[in-house]
Structures are given as C-alpha cells and as structure tokens.
Chains A and B, each alone.
Chain A
C-alpha cells in the first residue's frame, strides 16, 4: 500500500506540477528560515568557546542587580563583581580554579623600534589554568605571577617585535609601565567570546596580571580588591573538577545563597548564576536585550514557525483546491473501498513527500551557499552543523508538522466527502465554503504582521540614524587614547587643539560613544518620594553639549566661570552639592512637564534597597535635550550629567566640515607633540555608531527577509486560489457577461472579492504589530513615535500585492467568451 501511496503522490505532483512547485517553493522558504536560524544560533553557541580543552567544565558567573525584590535594574550579564571570585573560592574549595578577567581596553605598547596599540585584558593567574591556551613560546605556568609580566598573542608579538621568540623581552605599556613577556600563545578560536577577533566580547592581544590595574588606574576596574557589589564588570570563570566532586548544581546552589553570606545589607540586591562557557556569547545578547519574556534563542524560531504556518496553510488550501477537481477519483476510491484512514494516509504522505523534497533542496542549497554567505557577510556558519543530531531532530519535527498541518486539513476534509456527491459532479466543494478564504486570510495576516513590524523597525532605525548621523553638521571625532596614561592632561590637549580654527569644540566623556553600559543610578525628586527613576550617570567635562550639538532647553550648561561643583563617588571628597544637567527623558520621568520647572531644583541619588543609606543631593543646573550617544541598554533611556575628572577619559572634538583632512591633520600633529611615543587612535562618531548599530541593522534586514518570504508564500497561495476560484466561476462570469456585465466590471468584482480577506487580515494584524513594534522601540534609548503611517502603508502594500497577484488571472477570466463556457457546460 505504501508503494501505491508514493506512486500516486508522485504522479499527482507531476499532473498538477504548477501547484506542486508553488508548494515546494513555499515549504522550502520556510525550511530555509529554520535551518538558517539553527546555523546562526549554532555559530553563536558552538563558536570557538567549545574548542577550549576544558570547555565542558568551565562556567561563567552571572550577576543580576535588583533595586528591590520586584524591580530588576541590571539583567544577568555574564559578569560579576570583583569580590565574587575570592569568596567563591572560600565557599567551594573543591572547585579546581576560579579566576577573573577584565578588559583594560586599547592601550599603547612600544618596543625598542616599534609602537602600536594592543587590547589588554587583566586576569588572575588561574585564568591560564582554566583556559589552557596553546603556547608558541614560553611556559604558561606562573606566566602572570609577577605584576610586570605579560603574555602576548602570536599576532601581537609579530606586530611589536617582528618575531615570536620574545620571551624575556621588554614591552613599554601606556608609555610608562615596563613589562616582561613571559609567554606567547596562539590566539583562541576566532568565534570564541575572547581573543583577537574585533567582535570578541573580551578582546585581547596581551594578557596582564590583575594587579596591573593598580599600576594604571582609570575606570571601573581600578581596584580589583574593592568590595563594590554593584560593579559587575569582571568576567569570572569557574573550572569544575574533572572527577565530578563538585557539580554545577552544587555551584549554582552555592551561588544562590552567596548574597546572604557575603554581600552587606546596604548594597544592591544581587542574584548570581552560572552558565556554561559555550553560552557566553548568547547570554550576552540575551542580557543586552533585557532578558525579556521571549529569549533570543526562541524568538527567531517563533518567527520561523510563523513562516512555516503560512507555508502549510498555503499547502492545505491549494491541495484542497486541486483535490476538488479530482472529485470523481476520490469518490471512486471510496466506492472501491477506500476508508477514511486510506485517504488520510494518502494526503499526509503527499505532504511528507513534498516536505522531504523541500528539505533535500534546502540542504543541498545550504551546503553550496554557506561558504559564500560566510565570505560575503563575515559570518561563521559551520557546515558541520548540518550533521548535528539536534538539527535533524528539529528538521524531523518540522517535517512532521508539515505533514500534519499541511496534509491534515485536505486529508480530513476530503475523507469526509460522500462518494455519491463526488461521483455526481466533476468538481465539488470540500469543507465549508469560508475555509479557503479564512486560510488565505490567515496567511496574509501573518505576512501583514511581519510587514508592519518591519516598517515600524525601519521607522525606529531611521530615527536612530537621523539622530546619530548629521551630514549637515560638523563631524565629531572621538580620541580613543586616554591622555592621562601618558602623563598629559585633558586641558592641555584641549588648549592645543583649539589653537586651530578648524577645531570648533573640544569636550570629553567617560567611555567610547555609542557603547552600551555605564553606571545606573536611582534618582528621585525628594528623599521621601516613593517614585524612583533609573538613569544613566554620565561623567563629562565642559562643552559636551555644544560639541555634540545637544540643545540646552532650560537653565545653563556647565561653565568654567561658575566653578560648578564636580561629582565624586565619595560624597565627602568634594565640598558642595554637585551640579548636574538632566535630559528631557529624565525630566518627564521625575514628573516635570516643562524644562524650566527643574532648573535650580534638587534631585537625589537614592538607594532604595537600603533605606538607612541617606539620599545624595544633586543640584539641577539645566535641562538638555535627549541624544546622548547610546543606542540600547536596559534602563538606559534617561541621563544625568555630572562634571568629573573621570569625564575626561575620551576627548570629543568637533571639527569644521569645510576642511576635514586639515582638521584631522591638526589633531594628529597636536597628539604627536604631546605623546610622541603613542600614535593617536581616533574615530568619527558616525563610524562608532555604525559599528554599534550593525546588530540592529542585521535584525531589521533579517526581519525584512522573513517578511518577503512570507509575502511570496502568501501571494503564491493567493494566485493558486485565484486560478481555481476563477475557473470554477467561469460559468457565472459567462452568464454575467450575457446579462450585460463588462469585462472591466468583472475584473473589479473579482479583485474586490479577492481583496476582502486580504484587507481584513491586514487590519487584524495591526494590534499584534503594534505590540511587537512597541517592544522593539523600548529597546532603544531614543524611541520613535508610533504613528498610523506604518500600518496604513502595510495595508496599501498588501492590497497592491494582492491585486498584482490576482490581476492577471482576473483579467483572463473576465475575457472569457460567454458562448464558449455556457456551451461547454
């Protein structure tokens, strides 16, 4: 019987080959989405981190920060506070190793005859025990024991020394710290979360001892021994013992109770966890998205499932439409003894065969296309992933779904057709009349949802680009070097730069613009207020807003002539109440409606988790417009700006657009004069934005592709339906024309009939698209306004596509000669 089913299926595909091809393409597109998603997540999950020798025993600690037991401020990034490692070693002596690592950023490095920049990571000695890097030269045992030791990657050694035989040789870091190379290592795999790869989360060319931080202060990672439980900026790794004497469950249980043992009550609430090393890249993405309700590993598959559902609905609809023209055959089979199970099996098998054909097509195409895609897009898809059992389990599940969902409807509907009805007429209606319309409607609702969301994302993305990229303004250049490391001062740099008229403004911030992250603070209008807002605290110097082109809405900017009090973490370190500016977003969150209302008011930094800690007052000098260069981040919408020496780390220089090369040359010349041994690292703000924005551009592009797939499938389904429906209505059209209907009138009638489900479907999709769009908007620090236009545009596009799809068929049907069809009947 199986042979009969297969034979029948293949012959049926050939006989109705156009429909079969339409279904094949639809199912293939859906499978492409699933396999592409799997490969993408595989490249994230199984990146090079799995290649470390001890990978299966290595876990990275995570730390969430909570303001109150119900209000989470920072999601579970795979990083922890500096003291976590020390206490964990004591709590779990059975673990083989615990070690921290922290990024020091890009620092100047010089040898006798060469100089350049290296990305430095400071690490505990056991870091080299946990990650057993492959050595090129030297011995990693105790390689980081001395504070003046350094481990170079092979690439760094070649750049700085021209050779890898450099153990024992000296290197000058940050223009003033001499270190000795103790080992040279092969870099970690390119797709690991650490290494030389520019996209690595923990990028390094040189590993330095953790205590190097004490030699060269600057930034959050200043004091690795500090008990700063809100400073979750240390990568903390645990190596479990090979004999299994300490399990990951025990580790997690120890971490669960860690805060009550070690964190003082006056500190923010923390929740600790441990994730396998292979998940670090993914967990970083998840945390960056706020650890939302739908995980990044799940969300793409949900979208893929939507595409698959559209393809299966398409299949079901077209199969029923084709099958109704095979009424006599179905009726005869039932007469000859085919029971419902026979017909159900027949149609399920046809769906399974078509799904399998689509799968073979897609896998073959993937094997051919992946290398080219990797090259073109700079991705790391692994072809070997096509052999994973998990992928085959996923594919098996998808095929089963195709068979059941795609084949079940025609199978059940046609199996219920009475033999006498089938034999009596050449074609029949199988199932309720409204079902094909509903199925087409559902397809278009899904496609319209994706289209509306893609349009909303485009609105948000355009806003970000408009706010970030100002082709009509003077460009701003960020200098990546920290002049303090070279014994210089920001003021000196500023004064020298401003000697040239091509330099318009010079200011500074802490950190590279457009990077996520920074210190969050709880801000409220009075110590007794229960309402608390979370804002980003930005360390700046004078002239920042002028440099960035942000308008002061009320009050004034920081001014040298006024000696505005600066901010220090220690409130007793500086006299007076620090002056601050707040942005429009924080103004609204604090309950003010007009900027003037906030000027000269006092706001407070609060510690809601410990009412015994007094609020710290801040004096509002002015209100500035939104627009600090930061794209996304949890609780990163609003900003408060303080004057601080820490705010001079990253100079920002606004240069004249009339002579950009000249301005850049002046910057280079000034730097060279002040820091002769370290070349300047400068970046246009636009470049920094584009780098940071790339992920969201990719997401938007991916969603647009999904939307295009969905539309292609839905349109093919609509065309298929149109073919069948118009052929069934030929007699009716012939009669209408006999009675006086014009061809144009018939075309409009058919287009109206086909448009109705499409229109309704599009409108039904609006509320879902609204919710999804709003979720996307809320990721960003600056949000677009939700207007009706994306929805109206999606409606117009959907209807236009539907009309284009069925127009030709409608015109063909309308051109029919009445005598021909009525005579044939």
Chain B
C-alpha cells in the first residue's frame, strides 16, 4: 500500500528578492512498511524533503498525498492533528525539552493526544523498557549521554505508535557504538511495521535501508533498491 506520494513538489525560499529552490519538482512514492534513506551533498534539499514529508514545512507547489489524502493545502491546525497521530520524529540534535524529565519527554506526545493517565503511564513504561532507560526515567536530558538522549528521542518518536518515523541524521551526533544502537532500534521498528524515512550522510547506515534516494540540487538524482542484509536484525539486537 502506498503511504506517501509526492508529485512535482517544489519548495522555494525567498530572501531579499532572491528566490532559491530547495526542492524542484520532486516526485516520490513510499510504501507502507518501507525503510527509505535519503542521501546527498549538503544543501541538496534532504532535510527540506524530510520536513515537507513530516508536514512541518509546507511545499510551495505540488501535491502531497498521505494515506491517499492530499495534505499539501491543509492548514497547520489540521496538519498538527495528522502529525501527532501518524508521525514520529528523530533529530540529529535530539531536541529533547530540557525542563522535562526523560519520562515527561516521552509522555508529551500522549498528553497532546489527550490519552488517559493510566494508559499513558503504561505506554511510557513500555517504551522506556524498549530503549532500556527505565532506571533513568526521572533524569533530565542534561544528565544523559548523547546516546541515551537519542534513545529517549527514539522512544518519544514511537510512543504514539506512528505509521511513519522520520529521522534526520539520527546518528550524526553519536559515536559508532551509539549510532549502531540507534540504527538497530530503527531496524526493529521497521520490522514491526513502521515506515522509516531517514536522512543520512553515512553510506553504512543508508545500506540498512531498503531503498536509497539520492538528491542533488533539490532534485532526486537516483533511487536504488538495496538487497536485504543477512543477519541485519541479529546484528542490531546484539
């Protein structure tokens, strides 16, 4: 089933009478359950593509179908509802809220969905166990290592059981070991049915995806399907 369809998406930025095309006629389809990596040089529009797909930025023109609905013209108030129920985000710089504890950071999306208290509590515990951070529930982000913070970010991204996980260079600020851990989690989530769209500079991490989309100058230059890696899941869980 096709989850996402982008048709002729353009995204322009205007500064002092100069217009720059961050995305130029991008068309792309992503099936439900796919793991897609987006690569390309700096400034090619990878993050912009991710932002548009993640509905946190709106295209200048073109159509964006999510689950068959064209959401491109939707106002922010409708997008926020769609976003919070269907999408999860993982950022390079974690973007945890400093004033909140680990538990509260993960709980936040459920609060915005008005999830009842008992249900929230159970679900947060579940994902804390999933990322192996239950003992750190009361800690603040500043008290965690980079890898731990990113695990919290991953936990927060999946706590609402989203259809689509968007990861913008999730391992960019991590060392190799922690990066592997995070990639392993994304693998598992994908195995469990979540669609993953990941921006990365790392060829090694991109190879974990099923399809690699390469962008240059705001356009999709190429798309390549990656054969499944044998033992990939076992390696991630080790």
Contact = CB atoms under 8 A, between A and B. Distances in A.
A339 B95 contact: no
B109 interface: yes
Contacts of B56: 331, 334-335, 418-420, 423
Interface string A1-32: 10010011001100100000000000000000
Given A4-B104, A336-B112, A420 B80 contact: no
Interface in A411-438: 418-420, 423
A423 B84 contact: no
Interface in B45-102: 51, 54, 56-57, 76-77, 80-81, 83-85, 89, 91, 95-100
Contacts of B99: 8, 11-12, 15, 329
B108 A336 contact: yes
Interface in A326-378: 328-329, 331-340, 342
Interface in B25-57: 51, 54, 56-57
A419 B84 CA distance: 13
B113 interface: yes
Contacts of A331: 56, 95
Contact of A339 (B77, B104, B156): B77
A449 B47 CA distance: 52
Contacts of A4: 104, 108, 111
Nearest to A415: B76
Nearest to B57: A420
Contacts of A337: 80-81, 83-85, 109, 112-113, 160
B114 interface: yes
Interface centre among A8, A329, A331, A419 (most CB of B within 10 A): A419
A355 B191 CA distance: 51
Interface centre among A12, A336, A339, A420 (most CB of B within 10 A): A336
Interface string B126-161: 000000000000000000000000000000100010
A335 B98 CA distance: 16
A329 B84 CA distance: 16
Contacts of B51: 420
Contacts of B114: 1
B109 A423 contact: no
Interface residues of B, number: 28
Contact of A1 (B85, B98, B111): B111
B112 A332 contact: no
A173 B157 CA distance: 95
B57 A336 contact: no
Contacts of B160: 337
Contacts of B83: 335, 337
Nearest to A329: B97
B79 to A, nearest CB: 10
A333 B109 CA distance: 8
Contacts of A342: 112
A423 B81 CA distance: 19
Contact of A338 (B80, B85, B95): B80
B84 A336 contact: yes
B110 to A, nearest CB: 9
A347 B95 CA distance: 21
A423 B97 CA distance: 12
A420 B48 CA distance: 9
Contacts of B97: 329, 332-333
B153 to A, nearest CB: 10
A328 B95 contact: yes
Contacts, number: 67
Interface in A792-819: none
B3 to A, nearest CB: 19
Given A342-B112, A423-B95, A336 B77 contact: no
B74 to A, nearest CB: 13
A364 B84 CA distance: 44
A337 B77 CA distance: 10
Contacts of B81: 337, 339
Interface string A134-178: 000000000000000000000000000000000000000000000
Contact of B109 (A1, A11, A336, A340): A336
A11 B85 CA distance: 28
A354 B178 CA distance: 42
A423 B156 contact: no
A718 to B, nearest CB: 27
Nearest to B140: A11
A338 B112 contact: yes
A335 B89 contact: yes
A8 B100 contact: yes
Contacts of B108: 4, 333, 336
Contacts of B156: 336
Contacts of B109: 336-337
Interface string B109-121: 1011110000000
Nearest to A330: B97
Contacts of B89: 335-336
B80 A339 contact: yes
Contacts of B95: 328, 331-332, 335, 423
Contacts of A334: 56, 80
A423 B91 contact: yes
Contacts of A339: 77, 80-81, 112
Nearest to A339: B80
Nearest to A14: B99
B57 A418 contact: yes
A342 B99 CA distance: 17
B83 to A, nearest CB: 6
A399 B181 CA distance: 50
A380 B76 CA distance: 58
Contacts of B80: 334, 337-339
Contacts of A329: 97-99
Interface centre among A7, A15, A339 (most CB of B within 10 A): A339
A20 to B, nearest CB: 13
Nearest to B54: A335
A4 B110 CA distance: 12
Contact of A340 (B77, B85, B96, B104): B77
Nearest to B99: A11
Interface centre among B51, B80, B85 (most CB of A within 10 A): B80
A336 B95 CA distance: 11
Interface string A706-719: 00000000000000
Contacts of B100: 8, 11
Interface in A311-338: 328-329, 331-338
Contacts of A420: 51, 56-57
Nearest to A334: B80
A419 B112 CA distance: 16
A660 B152 CA distance: 89
Contacts of B111: 1, 4
Nearest to A328: B95
A339 B77 CA distance: 7
Interface centre among B56, B77, B84 (most CB of A within 10 A): B56
Contacts of B104: 4, 7
Contacts of B84: 336-337
Interface centre among A332, A335, A340 (most CB of B within 10 A): A335
Nearest to A10: B99
Interface centre among A12, A15, A329 (most CB of B within 10 A): A329
Contacts of A338: 80, 112
29 contacts: A4-B104, A4-B108, A7-B104, A8-B100, A12-B99, A328-B95, A329-B97, A329-B99, A331-B56, A332-B95, A332-B96, A333-B108, A333-B112, A335-B54, A335-B89, A335-B95, A336-B112, A337-B85, A337-B109, A337-B112, A337-B113, A338-B80, A338-B112, A339-B80, A340-B76, A340-B77, A419-B56, A420-B51, A420-B56
- Which 6 A-B residue pairings sit nearest by Cβ, starting from the closest? A337-B84, A337-B112, A420-B57, A11-B99, A419-B56, A332-B95
Given A11-B99, A334-B80, 16 more contacts: A1-B111, A1-B114, A4-B108, A8-B100, A15-B98, A329-B98, A332-B95, A332-B97, A333-B112, A335-B56, A336-B89, A337-B113, A337-B160, A339-B112, A418-B56, A420-B57
